[in-house]
Amino acid sequence: MFNRFIKANGRHRRIEGWPLVFTVLTVLAILVGTVVEFAPLFLVDQGMAPNPGVEPWTPLEVAGRELYIREGCNNCHSQMIRPFRQELERYGPFTTPAETAYETPFLWGSKRTGPDLARVGGKYPHLWHVRHMENPRSTSPNSIMPPYPWLLTRTMDLDGLSGQMRALRTVGLPYTDEQVDNAAALARAQAETIAAEIVEQGGPDRLADREITALVAFLQRLGTMGAASTAEVATASNSGGPTP
C-alpha cells in the first residue's frame, strides 16, 4: 500500500531527490505561509481604532481599574460578551475590539464564577455597589462573592496616578499633558461628585477619598461607550451561535 502511494506520487519523489530544488521549494512554501500568518498582524491596527464615542479612562477610573486588578476581580468576572444569543439576551450587545481599544492591560478574562461585567455600568445605583462590595449578601442573597469591606475604609492612593497615566499614554492612550499632570486633582473632583451622588442615594457621607469611590467610578463606566449597533448584534445573533 505504501509502495503504491510512492508510485502514485512519483513526481514528488523525484523532486525530493534534488536537494537544492527541494530546499528552494520548501523555503518558498514556508515564506507563503509566513506572509499569510503575518499580514493580519500588520493590518490589525485599523481594526483597533476606537469606536466613535469611546473615551480613554478618566484618572479616577484608572485608579478604580487598578483596584479591580489588585483585588483580582477578573479571576471571577469576565469583561467580554460573546456573540451568542444567550449572552446578548443576558448581558447586551457583544463586545467589539474597537470598543475595547483602550483596554491596557485587557481584562476580558476567561472565567465566570460571577456574571460578565462588560456592561454593568449604569445597571445599579452607586450605593448598590457600595453595599455589594461591603457585603455581597446584603444585595444579592446567597451570593458566593467575597466581601471587600476595606474598600470603604482605605484611603485612595493617588500619588502614583500621574505616573500611571503617563505610562498609559506611552502605550497609546491619548491623554493630554493637563490630564497627566493634574491626574490626582481631576480624580478628586470626580470622586467628590460620585460621593455626593452616593449621599443623595442615602449612603454614608465619608467616601469621597475612599477606594470604593474609585472602584464605583470604574464599574459605572463599563460598557457605557461605543457599544455595537443593534443591527450588528441582530446579524450576529441570527447567523450562528447556539440558541438558549
Which residues are at the interface with ligand HEC (CB under 6 A)? 68, 71-73, 75-77, 113-115, 117, 120, 123, 136, 140, 143-146, 148, 215, 219
Shortest Å distance, C-beta 46 to ligand HEC: 33
DSSP code of residue 156: P
Q: How far apart are CA 144 and CA 136, in angstroms?
A: 8
Cα distances from 118 to residues 16, 35, 75, in angstroms, run 54, 35, 14
- CB 206 → ligand HEC: shortest distance, Å? 20
Instruction: Give the nearer residue to ligand HEC in terms of CB position, either 23 or 75.
Output: 75
Q: How open is the CA angle 109-234-218, to the nearest 5 degrees?
A: 35
Distance CA(233)–CA(98), nearest Å, equals 15
Residue type, 28: L
Residue number, 142 or 243, with CB nearest to ligand HEC: 142
User: Closest approach of Cβ 16 to ligand HEC, in Å?
Assistant: 57
Decide whether 115 or 149 has the Cβ nearer to ligand HEC.
115
Instruction: Decide: residue 51, CB within 10 A, 0-12 exposed, 13-18 middle, 19+ buried.
Output: middle
CB of 222 to ligand HEC, least distance (A): 9
Q: Are 157 and 167 in contact (CB under 8 A)?
A: no
We find the least distance from the C-beta atom of residue 199 to ligand HEC, in angstroms, to be 20
Nearer to ligand HEC, 56 or 64 (CB): 64
Closer Cβ to ligand HEC, 118 or 168, answer by number: 118
